[in-house]
Structure 1
């Protein structure tokens, strides 16, 4: 049954995407070339609607006995409506934040999807108490927007989301969470079908419709798969989403350093930096796919490691990220604290010889 459903979602997305493309042109949901964009012609967006419809077909077929199933679907519908309106009319950041918060609140308050506590690795527990609802909502809204921030190249957000969904599905299999396996694999199949039209050179963009929807589903599925577990295990979804989270984090640092508003758009995201140092469009996308796969593999290893092994692994990964960020200039050309420290040591060593 599950395989038939996945095939249905996959081919459903393939069939629906050209229809959504025509609809996007009719509604004026198009992306025009500008200084901050890398495409050179008017492109239809709103392609995420094809992913959503395919996903909903599969999600309604399974109809599991879970209190949070329909709240998740209702929340995703709120997100999709927000994305469609934004792709057509370019909604303000405040309106998008309010609707995203509403979608998250539906799942958290009505569906009961909440992170209530975290077990500490050396004993004891952190209980969030009355903060469990706002913390969970913040997580969902944050990840929803993190996926949207990396949607800057053909097939980038769809591919990174697919890798994250694949990893979440695999982790859910290890943990025996049937619901997360079903929903994540349905979303994965729907996204892969869309990628046929979205990979470079893209025929349609997913737009905010797709990026916000995928971010929302990934955020909720990672919560259902890893909530109320150990502090070490709680890091797993953060690692899985290492590419969008790190890009978002360093974008915030970059804007703070440059004294810019946090919502200010710029052309210094991860994909921009890779393009600037000479990689082609296709190469940049594949490099970021490889990075997302690396984070997925780290998450799987991390989940099986002992406490000290997990701590050592995360420290190593953080160091690798920092060195990579400094090398490509993700925060800024002059932000190279570790590389400068290494060069200073080398200089001192050479001076002593």
Structure 2
């Protein structure tokens, strides 16, 4: 049944995307080139609407059920997010209004039972969030929603990275026997892949905030559903799976603090911008970031099957690689290379000693 549902969602997305493209052009929901944009011509956005409608079709066919979670709350929250995205794609609403829509959508799913009540840490440390469960869950959903939105800067980037994340979450949820998370992940994955056919470089349509906010919102919710019962590293697993958008957002915050700019200030120094400046083509940049996302996904899967000490080693390696890549591509700035400078000093000292 799940395979049939996935096929229907995939085909629905393929069929709906050209229709949404015509709709976007007719209502003026288009993306115009500017100094921050990579594309050089006016492009229709709103493509996320095709993903959303296909996802809803999948929900109606599969009817995923969890005794503790309201499926309708997830759909209503997703609808609020999509409406927020549509308004932004058409009218470019203010960041405050976008944030309000995200908070409202998150509040609906939290009310429907999607919460992080406890956090399991290494060495059998468990933190019971109690009353802080609601604000923590709210922060997680809004944070991941915006993290996916921030990486939506190249053809097929957000859709492809989100697909890799969904494959990872679905695989791990299947290992854990969490079929509710598996079904929702597969439905969203199939809907996204259908759209990606039109969105991969050279793109015929952008997903816009309608799609980026929807994918970020749904992934944040599914990541909570998929790992709510795991005993070890329950917080770290989704963080590692979402390593690409989270690290890009983290370094964007550091970059703006270092450069004394507002956190909401847009710039052209995200991961994909940095790779393009290094000389990689549009398609190469997207594929490199896909590979990075797959690396994080594999690390998370290995982590979930490892002993405590092996898992700790994996986390250390992941953090090392993230920092190395950030310094090498200039995510904060071209001069921000503390770790590389440290290694250069060691090498220089070794040469002098020899």
**Same fold by TM (over 0.5)?**
yes
SS at match of 1:233: coil
Tell me by how many angstroms 1:194 deviates: 0.3
The whole-number CA distance in structure 1 between the counterparts of 2:187 and 2:253 is 32
SS at match of 2:155: coil
Please, which moves more after superposition, 283-292 or 60-69? 60-69
The whole-number CA distance in structure 1 between the counterparts of 2:294 and 2:349 is 38
In the TM superposition, what are the counterparts of 1:250-289 in structure 2 within 5 Å?
250-289=251-290
Cα RMSD (Å): 1.0
The whole-number CA distance in structure 1 between the counterparts of 2:119 and 2:38 is 42
The whole-number CA distance in structure 2 between the counterparts of 1:141 and 1:108 is 12
**Residue 126 of structure 1 aligns with which residue?**
127
Does the Cα contact within 8 Å between 1:10 and 1:192 map onto a contact in 2? yes
Tell me by how many angstroms 1:118 deviates: 2.2
The whole-number CA distance in structure 2 between the counterparts of 1:234 and 1:165 is 17
**Residue 336 of structure 1 aligns with which residue?**
337
Please, which moves more after superposition, 61-70 or 196-205? 61-70
Please, which moves more after superposition, 65-74 or 212-221? 65-74
Deviations 1:61-88 (A, max 9, x none): 2223434210000000000000000000
Determine whether 1:78 maps to 2:80.
Answer: yes
Does the Cα contact within 8 Å between 2:46 and 2:86 map onto a contact in 1? yes
Please, which moves more after superposition, 203-212 or 225-234? 225-234
The whole-number CA distance in structure 1 between the counterparts of 2:38 and 2:64 is 42
The 1:65/1:342 distance shift into structure 2, 3 A limit, reads closer
Determine whether 1:191 maps to 2:199.
Answer: no
**Residue 88 of structure 1 aligns with which residue?**
90
The whole-number CA distance in structure 2 between the counterparts of 1:97 and 1:8 is 33
Tell me by how many angstroms 1:296 deviates: 0.7
Tell me by how many angstroms 1:60 deviates: 1.7
Tell me by how many angstroms 1:218 deviates: 0.5
**Residue 43 of structure 1 aligns with which residue?**
43
Please, which moves more after superposition, 58-67 or 128-137? 58-67
Gaps of 5+ in 2: none
Tell me by how many angstroms 1:119 deviates: 3.3
The whole-number CA distance in structure 2 between the counterparts of 1:65 and 1:250 is 38
SS at match of 2:119: strand
Tell me by how many angstroms 1:352 deviates: 2.4
Does the Cα contact within 8 Å between 1:118 and 1:228 map onto a contact in 2? no
Deviations 1:300-353 (A, max 9, x none): 001001111111110011001111111110110110001001111112222223
Does the Cα contact within 8 Å between 2:124 and 2:232 map onto a contact in 1? no
Does the Cα contact within 8 Å between 2:151 and 2:158 map onto a contact in 1? yes
The whole-number CA distance in structure 2 between the counterparts of 1:35 and 1:167 is 35
Determine whether 1:224 maps to 2:228.
Answer: no
Does the Cα contact within 8 Å between 2:36 and 2:267 map onto a contact in 1? yes
The 1:228/1:6 distance shift into structure 2, 3 A limit, reads closer
**Residue 142 of structure 2 aligns with which residue?**
141
The whole-number CA distance in structure 2 between the counterparts of 1:189 and 1:250 is 31
Gaps of 5+ in 1: none
**Residue 250 of structure 2 aligns with which residue?**
249
The 1:316/1:65 distance shift into structure 2, 3 A limit, reads closer
Does the Cα contact within 8 Å between 1:30 and 1:45 map onto a contact in 2? yes
The whole-number CA distance in structure 2 between the counterparts of 1:58 and 1:305 is 34
Does the Cα contact within 8 Å between 1:150 and 1:247 map onto a contact in 2? yes
**Residue 347 of structure 1 aligns with which residue?**
348
Does the Cα contact within 8 Å between 2:64 and 2:183 map onto a contact in 1? no
The whole-number CA distance in structure 1 between the counterparts of 2:123 and 2:346 is 36
